[in-house]
């Protein structure tokens, strides 16, 4: 019996998809507990590149994959994802189960996301505009439509019509109040695709996922919960308001799957050997210089969902310390070490200078560049590690880098990823 959790410790895109794919053979079930198609989790194997958005990253293995109650599903995005997975050979109809309590993203949620974002002007969040914020808002204000509502078509249509009507009133309000110009969209077509997506969703097995999962726990099955986004995008603990609208942290596993906290075993925290962020918001170690460009180029740092260029910077230990504390991390995974292959010197932010003091955790707010990162400069290894598959064969400068991080964070780095492919990995 064991429930492990794998989640991101930074601002998302740490490489969660790859590690879930690598670890899945050890598990009977992979379950997503929050987020929706704002996520983009990349898997690379057999010369294929697959990006998952709502569906867990274990679909290419024997395990069952669950979309939990904490997830928001957009039927339009879901069709595209299922098509891609079928083309890539995943036996998706056998492997995917959907919680009856998962919530739906409506076409009008996406329009609302757009007008709300535009109304913020220069303070916009840089949302993926997948309707995430408005969909979770409706969940919290107790008017959302859930997967289980699809069982009664008449009631479902009534709920859909009444909620869409409210959304249109709100959209009109925003348009008038903020004088917004919105590109023409063919809403009828969007709605048609959405209902096609609903028909596709109905072909999958709907479950009471909290009961299903707890029965599997009692039957000694191994389960891994797959996080989306990252700790610093958590609605409570992230860089609010520049965050997403769900709990991306370990607590989200309990509410997003119905797993009791006492059943959680390992919490595997995953981080890049440097830091990235896509969208707006504070980023203390951001590099707006040639080193930042180099990280972006070598790391191919362009968003898996929106294609946007990711902001890049040095590793930030105050952020990692905070994320480890909030999540109760027991094991660390370091990704994309190979991206640092060609640096003479690499910096690590160990602390911040804030308000005349040296601090080791982020303060209440990181806005307005109010912290000054304090860096330790480390010697780069300046050679390729892509074909190295034993820890001891790594360049000593990289071993120093890893051991310095472990020393600062007081947790062992169990896995080091040295390239995007499944097999480019060192397990200690
Ligand atoms: P996720 O959202 O956390 O699953 O991460 P993404 O898939 O959005 O972004 C991670 C990106 O890094 C993807 O393009 C991966 O293929 C790639 N990647 C994963 N691990 C490594 C690695 O160790 N080295 C390199 N160079 N790329 C990696
Ligand atoms: P994965 O799971 C990186 C960011 C957006 C924006 C903010 C709010 O692939 O790591 P939202 O669409 O939720 O309204 O956007 O959060 N964001 C992500 N950044 N990776 C993600 O997911 C993200 N999902 C949302 O860029 O700044
Ligand atoms: Mg991603």
| Phi (first) and psi of residue 179, to 5 degrees | 55, 50
Q: Closest-lying ligand to the alpha carbon of 295?
A: 1
Q: Find the mean pLDDT for residues 33-50.
A: 96
Using the predicted structure, report yes or no on whether residue 102 has a pLDDT greater than 80.
yes
Cβ–ligand 2 contact at 126 (below 6 Å)? yes
How long a stretch of residues is the chain? 428
Using the predicted structure, report yes or no on whether residue 30 has a pLDDT greater than 90.
yes
Q: Find the mean pLDDT for residues 190-201.
A: 98
Cβ–ligand 2 contact at 38 (below 6 Å)? yes
Identify which of 6, 11, 12, 18 to mutate to test ligand 1's pocket (most ligand atoms within 8 A of the CB).
18
Q: Find the mean pLDDT for residues 410-428.
A: 97
Find, among 3, 207, 200, 204, the residue nearest to 96 by Cα: 204
Q: Find the mean pLDDT for residues 79-85.
A: 97
Ligand 2 mean position, distance from CA 278 (Å):
7
**Each residue of 329-340: pLDDT tens digit?**
999 999 999 999
What DSSP assignment string belongs to 277-330?
A: E-SSS--TTB--SHHHHHHHHHTT-B-TTT-PBPEEE-EEHHHHHHHHHHHT--
**Running DSSP on this structure, what letter comes out for residue 173?**
H
Closest residue to atom 5 of ligand 2, CA basis: 127
Ligand 2 mean position, distance from CA 152 (Å):
33
Cβ–ligand 2 contact at 131 (below 6 Å)? no
Q: Find the mean pLDDT for residues 73-91.
A: 97
Using the predicted structure, report yes or no on whether residue 183 has a pLDDT greater than 90.
no
Q: Find the mean pLDDT for residues 10-26.
A: 98
Cβ–ligand 2 contact at 130 (below 6 Å)? yes
Cβ–ligand 2 contact at 231 (below 6 Å)? no
What DSSP assignment string belongs to 167-191?
A: HHHHHHHHHHHHT-------HHHHH
Cβ–ligand 1 contact at 8 (below 6 Å)? yes
Ligand 1 mean position, distance from CA 109 (Å):
29
Identify the pLDDT of residue 305: 81
Q: Closest-lying ligand to the alpha carbon of 109?
A: 2
Q: Taking all residues of the chain, what is their mean pLDDT, rounded to a whole number? A: 97
Tokens read off for 163: 């909620």
Cβ–ligand 2 contact at 278 (below 6 Å)? yes
Ligand 3 mean position, distance from CA 228 (Å):
8
Find, among 252, 243, 346, the residue nearest to 291 by Cα: 346
Known catalytic membership, residue 13: yes
How far is 382 from 380, CA to CA, in rounded Å? 6
The catalytic position among 41, 53, 61, 351 is: 41
Using the predicted structure, report yes or no on whether residue 1 has a pLDDT greater than 70.
no
| Phi (first) and psi of residue 390, to 5 degrees | -125, 140
* β partners of residue 108: none
Known catalytic membership, residue 407: no
Cβ–ligand 2 contact at 39 (below 6 Å)? yes
Ligand 1 mean position, distance from CA 291 (Å):
19
Q: Find the mean pLDDT for residues 31-54.
A: 96
Q: Closest-lying ligand to the alpha carbon of 128?
A: 2
DSSP alpha helix (H) spans, 96-152: 107-119, 132-140
Ligand 3 mean position, distance from CA 303 (Å):
7
The catalytic position among 13, 21, 113, 316 is: 13
Threshold 0.85, pTM exceeds? yes
Please report which confidence band the pLDDT of residue 369 belongs to, taking 50, 70 and 90 as the band edges. Answer: confident
Identify the pLDDT of residue 368: 82
Identify the pLDDT of residue 351: 98
């Amino acid at each position: 019996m064991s429930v492990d959790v794998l989640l991101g410790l930074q601002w998302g895109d740490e490489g969660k998809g790859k590690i879930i794919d690598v670890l899945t053979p050890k598990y009977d079930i992979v379950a997503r507990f929050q987020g929706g198609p704002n996520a983009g989790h990349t898997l690379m194997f057999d010369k294929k590149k697959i990006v998952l958005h709502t569906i867990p990253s274990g679909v290419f293995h024997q395990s069952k994959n669950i979309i939990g109650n904490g997830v928001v599903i957009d039927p339009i995005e879901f069709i595209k994802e299922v098509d891609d997975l079928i083309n890539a050979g995943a036996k998706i109809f056998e492997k995917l189960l959907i919680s009856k309590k998962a919530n739906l993203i409506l076409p009008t949620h996406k329009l609302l996301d757009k007008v709300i974002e535009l109304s913020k002007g220069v303070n916009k969040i840089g949302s993926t505009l997948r309707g995430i914020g408005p969909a979770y808002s409706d969940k919290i204000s107790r008017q959302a439509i859930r997967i289980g509502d699809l069982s009664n078509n008449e009631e479902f249509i009534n709920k859909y019509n009444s909620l869409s009507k409210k959304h249109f009133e709100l959209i009109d309000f925003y348009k008038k109040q903020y004088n917004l110009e919105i590109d023409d969209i063919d809403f009828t077509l969007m709605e048609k695709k959405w209902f096609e997506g609903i028909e596709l969703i109905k072909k999958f097995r709907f479950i009471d996922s909290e009961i299903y999962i707890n029965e599997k726990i009692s039957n000694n099955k191994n389960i891994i919960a797959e996080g989306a986004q990252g700790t610093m995008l958590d609605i409570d603990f992230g860089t609010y308001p520049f965050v997403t609208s769900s709990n991306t942290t370990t607590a989200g596993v309990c509410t997003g799957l119905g797993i009791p906290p006492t059943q959680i075993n390992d919490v595997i925290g995953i981080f890049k050997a440097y830091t990235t962020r896509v969208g707006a918001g504070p980023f203390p170690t951001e590099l707006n210089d040639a080193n930042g460009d180099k990280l972006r180029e070598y790391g191919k740092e362009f968003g898996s969902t929106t294609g946007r260029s990711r902001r890049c910077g040095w590793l930030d230990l105050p952020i990692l310390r905070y994320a480890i504390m909030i999540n109760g991390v027991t094991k660390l995974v370091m990704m994309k070490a190979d991206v640092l292959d060609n640096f003479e010197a690499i910096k690590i932010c160990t602390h911040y200078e804030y308000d005349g003091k040296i601090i080791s955790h982020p303060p209440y707010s990181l806005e307005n560049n109010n912290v000054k990162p304090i860096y330790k400069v480390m010697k780069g290894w300046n050679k390729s590690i892509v074909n190295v598959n034993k820890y001891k064969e790594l360049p000593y400068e990289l071993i120093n880098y890893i051991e310095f991080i472990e020393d600062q964070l007081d947790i062992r780095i169990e896995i080091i990823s040295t390239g995007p492919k499944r097999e480019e990995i060192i397990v200690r």
